Amino acid sequence: MFKKVLIANRGEIALRIIRACRELGIATVAVHSTADTNALHVKFADESVCIGPPPAPKSYLHIPSIISAAEVTGADAVHPGYGFLSENPEFADMCVRCRLHFIGPPPQLMRLMGGKIPARKAMVEAGVPILPGTGLLETDDQALAAVEEIGLPVIIKASAGGGGRGMKIVRERDKLLSSLEMARAEALAGFGSSDVYLERYVEAPRHIEVQIVADGAGGVAALGERECSIQRRHQKLIEEAPSVALTDEEREKLLALCERAMRHIGYANVGTLEFLYERDQPGSEANGRFYFMEMNTRIQVEHTVTEMVTGLDLVREQIRLAAGEPLSSTFTSRFKPRGHAIECRVNAEDPVTFAPSPGRITALNLPGGFGVRVDTHIYEGYVVPPNYDSLLAKLIVHAEDRESAIKRMRRALDEFVVEGVKTNLPFHRKLIDHPEFIAGRIDTHFIARLSPSA
């Protein structure tokens, strides 16, 4: 097992990793920008190193500074959390070259599954269904020919990206080339690569993802699915486990498919396979179809809901697997969800315009009670910097069934008070009370219908 882990991240995920390390008896090193000098992850780590000014490219994304911090403090492993460098194979390569264990999959697997085009190819070889689409689009003629074959609508996606950047939906053939140009420009600005591809666009899908743990030696477990359909501009706001959309038969088929695919590529550590789920007929209860979208080769923001319905510590398992330990015997039997969990992402943003709202938190009350969990890095007096993601906290509830979980979430949201900055708590209260959400009749366009300006 590792002796000292450097956490190449900030915020609530840095605290989450510190807690897991402490329970494993591992010392921790926090890195921080000058904007995060008074952050909780800096206060709770055993050591801390300032790695640069507030802009992420000069601190949390600056690989030489992070590697130097690890060498100076004698760390033997690096945990990247999520975001920042967590899916950067060059960073993982650098860690390996500097004799640091990277807590995540090997760089070659990050390259295989981190790029959407090679990931699609690998999943086809593994027998996983994908949407009709293309490889890398090198010319306009390729795009025009693909639309003729696939039909409209189609969606253009950045090969190296996510989060909605570099995505363009095309419903009319004469808008294809202009959309392609815009998608390439967005992809280049957001990810440093203008590579794009296109695939058939599904009008009203659900977003279902499967949590994977694997040891690289054939030990693989799919820990059930998460429902992530409540999104605003491709950014998730509410996640649940399990999904109310799936039958037991569909769930078993999907989890077995994911396990076979991960054995096929020899995956190691934790990861998440993301799918679009399309009903054969909108509104029907008949079985639907799953289409692989992408894989995240890291811990997810929403890993917490899986932890709540399994009772398993996924960050602890990440660290164990990276240290070369085999998959725990806990994972040998098929996953069975224990009750229902829901997570709301609480962001520092205007609940109407969704504009970021940095500033000082002047008052704070975190909800509590049975079945309530809050993962957060904020405190009264904390200054929310304008330089990073607006996530303030993850509010997670667990109950014996979905109806009870919704009631518990409603109560917890009412107890959650943040003053000094605007938050999306009022928007979450509106969502959780919506009859369609309560009935489980949701898809990825639910928020757009509920709040067209969102």
3-state secondary structure of 373: strand
Tokens matching residue 52: 């640069």
Chain position carrying tokens 């590529």: 265
* Residues 254-259: contacts with CB under 8 Å, at least 24 apart: 254/208, 254/210, 254/222, 254/225, 254/290, 255/210, 255/222, 255/224, 255/225, 255/334, 255/335, 256/222, 257/127, 257/128, 257/290, 258/128, 258/210, 258/212, 258/222, 259/212, 259/220, 259/221, 259/222
If residue 43 lies in a helix (H) or strand (E), which one and from where to where? helix 40-44
Query: Is 298 assigned a catalytic role?
Result: yes
Tokens matching residue 215: 């040891």
Tokens matching residue 314: 């996924």
Q: Give the integer Cα–Cα distance in Å for 282 and 333.
A: 34
Q: Of the listed 298, 345, 373, 408, which one is catalytic?
A: 298
Q: Give the integer Cα–Cα distance in Å for 341 and 225.
A: 11
Please tell me the chain's helix, strand, coil percentages from 3-state DSSP, rounded to the nearest 5: 35, 25, 40
Residues that are catalytic: 298
